[in-house]
Amino acid sequence: KTGALFGQALSYPPVVIAFAVLFFAMALSLFGYFAIRAPHFLTNKLTSKKSGTGFIGAFFSGLIAGIVASPCVGPVLVGVLAYIAQTQNTILGFALLFTFAMGMGLLFIALGTFSSFVNKIPKSGNWMDFIKYGMGFAMLGLCAYYLQPILTGQQFNFLVGALCIFSGRVIFS
pLDDT, tens digit, 9 for 90 and up, residues 4-38: 676 677 778 898 899 899 889 988 888 888 887 76
Q: What was the pLDDT predicted at 41? A: 72
Alpha-carbon span 169 to 157, nearest angstrom: 18
Q: Which residue has the higher pLDDT, 36 or 127?
A: 127
pLDDT, tens digit, 9 for 90 and up, residues 101-126: 898 888 778 877 887 777 777 777 88
Alpha-carbon span 10 to 28, nearest angstrom: 23
Alpha-carbon span 71 to 68, nearest angstrom: 7
Q: Is the CA virtual torsion 84, 88, 94, 99 positive or negative?
A: negative
Q: What is the pTM of this model?
A: 0.61
Nearest CA among 31, 19, 30 for reference residue 145: 19
Greatest C-alpha distance within the chain: 60
92-to-5, 37, 53, 86, 88 alpha-carbon distances in Å: 17, 30, 38, 11, 9
Give yes or no for a contact between 134 and 75, defined as CB atoms under 8 angstroms apart. Answer: no
